[in-house]
Chains A and B, each alone.
Chain A
Amino acid sequence: MTEPAISFVGIWTTLIAAGVFLYVLLDGFDLGVGVLHGFARERADRDLIMNAIAPIWDGNETWLVFCGLALMAAFPLAFAIIIPAVYFPILVMLIALVFRGVAFEFRYEDRPRRAFWDCAFQVGSLVATFAQGVVLGAFIQGFRVEGRQFTGSSLDFLTPFSILAGFALLFGYGLLGAGWLIIKTEGALQDWARRQGRRCLVGVVLGIAAVSLWTPLMNHHIAERWFSLPDILFLWPVPIVTLAVIIWEWRALNGSVDAAPFIAAILLFLLSYLGVAISLWPMIVPYQFTIWEAAASPSTQGFLLVGTLFLLPVILMYSGWSYWVFRGKARSDIGYH
């Protein structure tokens, strides 16, 4: 094989990073809605909450498959190390997603056991979210690796830090979900969503603070990245802007603009995501392999890139169209009934 003149590693890193972020936003809000769904008292409210995501949830979940497969294709080494290292969180997440996904249909048809499927929907959303947080926590911690294989045990993921990350993500998705519900509902239900959003924001702030303090203490690479010259000169705005967005989010949740809490929550996620990316760059298997070391062959990355660059805009277009069709406030007569 001849070495090609151009490398696709940069663009694939960007694409996967963007894909993961899109997934976290999109499935984040509908998992968050799932978590909040269980706290709604009235059955009619629950139905409406469900219909606020019924037509779009499986498109959102598709980004998870895309991210998994793109990682396998563009960085097979990273896929082969990371996924076995988080064997159980992935397992639990998948099974939770299975229950949550079928609950959309079953709760409307299996009426005698509706309570069970409502519960499956909420607990499934909750467990899937928590498991994703645990995966994130384990990822930041790093894995035991020898050669090109994960050599730790399948229980290595279980640490206080990964548990903390799990809880932090629960509040995070809850905040996104509340933001979405504020857009899709009105009146008393919207007030309720705003209240839930404020509760989640408190959890999010605590989570962000804990993770931001813990990671540099846990890992000297991360401490050096954030607190050494000259990096600190470029990085100091990140926590400042985060603080500003938190304040804006609080005011938005108490305000009257429908879209503001959701937008502020997205910004908050973007900043947290940036924070993690800054901490770990350029590692794709933290502290073991860089994006260049784990990359697939240029031919592989190139072959997939051709189709991706063509298809991704098309996908965004028709996904956008599907959101457009179901725009406006959630309705009791569109969706399951």
Chain B
Amino acid sequence: MPWDPLILSRMQFAWVIAWHILLPAFTVGAASYIALLEGLHLATGRDVYLHVSNFWTRIFAVAFGMGVVTGIVMPFQFGTNWSRLSELAGNIIGPTLAYEGLMAFFLEAAFLGVLLFGRRLVPPWAHFIAALMVALGTLFSAFWILATNSWMQTPAGYTRIDGRFYPADWFEIVFNPSFPYRFAHTVTGFYVTTGFVVLGVGAYTIRRGQFRDEGRVMMMTALSLLAVLVPLQMLIGDQHGLNTRRYQPAKLAAIEARWDTGSGVPLTLFALPDQTGEQNKYAIEVPYLGSLILTHSLDGTIQGLKDFPADQRPPVAIVFFAFRIMVGLAALMLLMVSVGWWLRYRRILFYSVWYLRACQLAIPIGFIAVLAGWTTTEEGRQPWTVYGLLRTADSVTPSLVGHDVILSLLLYAVAYVIIYPTGFFYVLRLVRMGPRGMPPSPPIEAGRPRMPVTELPSPSKSEAVP
């Protein structure tokens, strides 16, 4: 069978989710950042915050619009390609996903219009509330989608009848063992991602010299937030790892490419894991460090992959390398932030061209780390959709044949290959235009009599008409 609908469906899911996740990775943080800027402007009255906020709101609008439409694709994947999963686990993951729609999407959609187009229609405080609501919406969204994902990773609070999952305790389902860690880790990761985007764009803005004040605000707000968030993220990541060791030991073994169970295990810095030979080639190891990091004690025990039947092990090499990319980037982030503060301490931050350039280069760093982390957790839970209970192979839609999925994958591929570069270049252009100086806010117009508008194109006309 050359074209396997299972493999193709997995490729399709990976394709649509990977592109989609890039957008929330930015918009979750950007929404909160805009709300912060709006708050600062409301509190201090300084126009520079308004300029920076307007600038990021424009970019946010593009990313959010793309996030909405690529997000609509996602729930339908559960029906088109993973109908067995929907039928067997729908009693549990249905409501948690539906709550995302109810609590998050409507909130975001309703207030986004006001945030984008309503500055002149509502008073400043209402505009600030709109920004807050959009930010809150993105967090609700992350809450429910990660609750759903975490339940599939570490199922709890269910009973099983005829292979189908039924809810027994909703609190246990939502707050399942891995959820608090995954939620904290993901949201912090998203904030860090946005932080590095703002830092890099701020650096670029300063280097161009045209909007230095705005650039400084961007860099300093980003550096301040990152100084807290990056170390915090490392701490949360460590806790998440301990949680994975307890609830998904096979995933942890794959992350570490550890084949044999042992105590006082070394940390494998690099190796080429050999899945069929059940061993590592060219391993570079640091003695005892593995146990120390993963169990917080020198002689802690780590379970090896050989403890699990071969058909219950994740693909080791992918998980192993994805994890190392993520951790390596985290170390780089810490370095960037430390150097930034050191330069700031010496009062040469805004004049150190090499550092400003480095910040520009680091713009995608968070996105890559998010993708690597997501790959680690999703490949690491294979071959299961509901961990240890429902196999991925038993989750796929049975009526699908290979060429159905080839065709759909191809269409998704073409669509995303067109819209993502367009969106990217478009954002790039917005960045190049820079935070244009905005005129002082015109008076609020809501409640005024209807104004004729058909006389286009003359943007100033509607101002003149009483």
In the complex, which of the residues A65, A80, A87, A109 contacts B101, with contact meaning CB atoms closer than 8 Å? A65
Q: What range describes how many residues of B lie at the interface?
A: 35 or more
Which residues of chain A come closer than 8 Å to B99, judged between CB atoms? 304, 307
Query: In whole angstroms, how far apart are the Cα atoms of A61 and B450 in the complex?
Result: 27
User: Given A84-B399, A153-B399, are A106 and B111 neighbors across the interface (CB < 8 Å)?
Assistant: no
B105 touches A62 (CB 8 A): yes
With A61-B72, A76-B94, A311-B103 known to touch, is A98 a contact of B419 (CB < 8 Å)?
yes
Q: Does B116 contact A (CB under 8 A)?
A: yes
Q: Which of B80-88, B213-221, B246-254, B319-327 contacts A (4 or more CB under 8 A)?
A: B80-88
CA distance A110 to B419 in the complex (A): 11
Q: In this assembly, does B166 line the interface, its C-beta being within 8 Å of a C-beta of chain A?
A: yes
Assess the A334–B423 pair: CB atoms within 8 A. Answer: no
CA distance A70 to B159 in the complex (A): 22
**Residue in A48, A56, A66, A85 whose beta carbon sits within 8 Å of that of B98 in the complex:** A66
Interface check A95, CB cutoff 8 A: yes
Question: What total of A-B pairs shows CB separation below 8 Å?
Answer: 278
Q: Which of A219-227, A262-270, A313-321 contacts B (4 or more CB under 8 A)?
A: A313-321
Given A99-B415, A307-B99, A299:B167 Cβ within 8 A: yes
Given A97-B69, A311-B102, CB of A72 within 8 Å of CB of B86:
yes
Query: Given A106-B423, A109-B430, is A335 in contact with B117 using a C-beta cutoff of 8 Å?
Result: yes
Interchain CA distance A151-B404 in the complex, whole Å: 14
- A98-B73, A325-B113 are known contacts. Are A66 and B80 too (CB-CB below 8 A)? no
Let me know if B72 and A94 touch, CB within 8 A. yes
User: Which among A182-190, A205-213, A238-246 touches the partner chain?
Assistant: A182-190
Indicate if the CB atoms of B80 and A91 lie closer than 8 Å.
yes
CB–CB A333/B459 < 8 A: yes
Q: Are B408 and A91 in contact (CB under 8 A)?
A: yes
Whether A326 is near chain B, meaning CB under 8 Å from some CB there, is: yes
Chain B, residue nearest A42 (CB)? B456
Alpha-carbon distance between A106 and B62 when the two chains are bound, in angstroms: 8
Distance, CA A295 to CA B295, complexed state (A)? 45
What are the residues of chain B within 8 A of A61 when measuring CB–CB? 68, 72, 109
How far is A150 from B53 in the complex, measured between Cα atoms in Å?
50
29 contacting pairs across A/B (C-beta < 8 A): A62-B105, A69-B101, A72-B75, A72-B94, A72-B98, A73-B95, A79-B79, A83-B79, A84-B399, A87-B80, A88-B407, A90-B79, A94-B72, A98-B415, A102-B422, A109-B430, A148-B87, A149-B84, A149-B399, A153-B399, A296-B90, A311-B106, A312-B102, A315-B106, A315-B110, A325-B446, A329-B450, A334-B117, A334-B120
Q: A149-B83, A322-B114 are in contact. List 16 more A-B contacts (CB 8 A).
A: A69-B98, A69-B100, A72-B94, A72-B98, A73-B94, A76-B86, A79-B78, A83-B80, A97-B69, A101-B68, A150-B397, A188-B454, A300-B95, A307-B99, A318-B110, A335-B117
Binding site for A on B (CB under 8 A): 61-62, 65-66, 68-73, 75-76, 78-80, 83-84, 86-87, 90-95, 97-103, 105-107, 109-114, 116-118, 120-122, 159, 161, 166-168, 170, 397-401, 404, 407-408, 411-412, 415, 419, 422-423, 425-426, 429-430, 446, 450-454, 456-459, 462-463
Residues of chain A whose beta carbon lies under 8 Å from any beta carbon of chain B: 1, 44-45, 47-48, 54-56, 58-59, 61-62, 64-66, 68-70, 72-74, 76-77, 79-85, 87-88, 90-92, 94-95, 97-102, 104-106, 109-110, 113, 148-154, 185-189, 296-297, 299-300, 303-304, 307-308, 311-312, 315, 318-319, 321-322, 325-326, 328-335, 337
